[in-house]
Amino acid sequence: MRKQIFGLVSLGLLIAGCHTDMWKQPKTEPLDESASLFADGAASRPLVPGSIARGHLRLDDGYFTGIENGKFVDQIPLKLVDSAGKRKTLLLRGQERYNIYCSPCHGQVGDGKGMIAQRGFSLKRPVGNYHTDRLRNMPVGHFYDVITNGYGAMYSYASRVEPQDRWAIVAYIRALQLSQHASPADADQADLSKAQAQNETNGRLAQK
């Protein structure tokens, strides 16, 4: 009898030990639903308007909006480009970010012939081509502003591209513009001989 009671009690304890409250804890993860806490049912909250996260005060208008005193900034902020190393890092970062967020529409060389632009857009005005006189002469602040606030049919990319990355993309757009608008005079001798060698190889390959 005693043994049976002991058995039953331990069985009861074992069954009582079955919980799922470790699997589903009273906490929310990013983008979880939270029906009880907030009226809109979303656990992730938008920023309270006017609030500024510690370390995110944006006093430098030129840096954070691309516009200073009502005019587009004409130069990429100096603190991003004041050494050769920084310039290279910025350009490479810009290339990477450009290829993720911009190339689907603007194309890998910035001619406005990206995959999405070719596959479905029927815009009143075509996707921006950076290699026009208008955009070549546009101050850098314009490009920064377009990434931040959108332009025409283009949506804002501010939530996906951080300010420093926006400047990196702007720098890369400038590099793209140069790449498609260079004259032979811009190339130094090393470039020229390299290009010539390349041409010869291509010629040989074509003959084969």
* Range 30-59, binding other proteins (CB under 8 A): 30-31, 33, 40, 42
Window contacting other proteins (CB under 8 A); options: 2-10, 131-139, 153-161, 187-195: 153-161
Q: What contacts 201, CB < 8 A, 6 or more positions away?
A: none
Shortest distance in whole angstroms from residue 207 CB to other proteins:
25
Shortest distance in whole angstroms from residue 24 CB to other proteins:
6
The answer to whether residue 160 forms part of the interface with other proteins (CB under 8 A) is yes
The SS3 of residue 21 is coil
E strand or H helix at 68: strand 67-68
The answer to whether residue 6 forms part of the interface with other proteins (CB under 8 A) is no
E strand or H helix at 107: none
Shortest distance in whole angstroms from residue 73 CB to other proteins:
25
Neighbours of 91 (CB within 10 A): 17
The answer to whether residue 88 forms part of the interface with other proteins (CB under 8 A) is no
Window contacting other proteins (CB under 8 A); options: 20-28, 57-65, 66-74, 190-198: 20-28
Whole-angstrom Cα distance, residue 170 to residue 104?
16
- Residue from the set 36, 159, 183, 207 that interacts with other proteins by CB under 8 A: 159
Shortest distance in whole angstroms from residue 96 CB to other proteins:
7
Sign of CA dihedral 176, 181, 185, 190: positive
- Residue from the set 16, 22, 39, 205 that interacts with other proteins by CB under 8 A: 22
What's the alpha-carbon Rg for the chain, to the nearest Å? 28
Tell me the three-class secondary structure of 155-179, residue by residue.
CCCCCCCCHHHHHHHHHHHHHHHHH
Judged by beta carbon, residue 98 or residue 143, the one nearer other proteins is 98
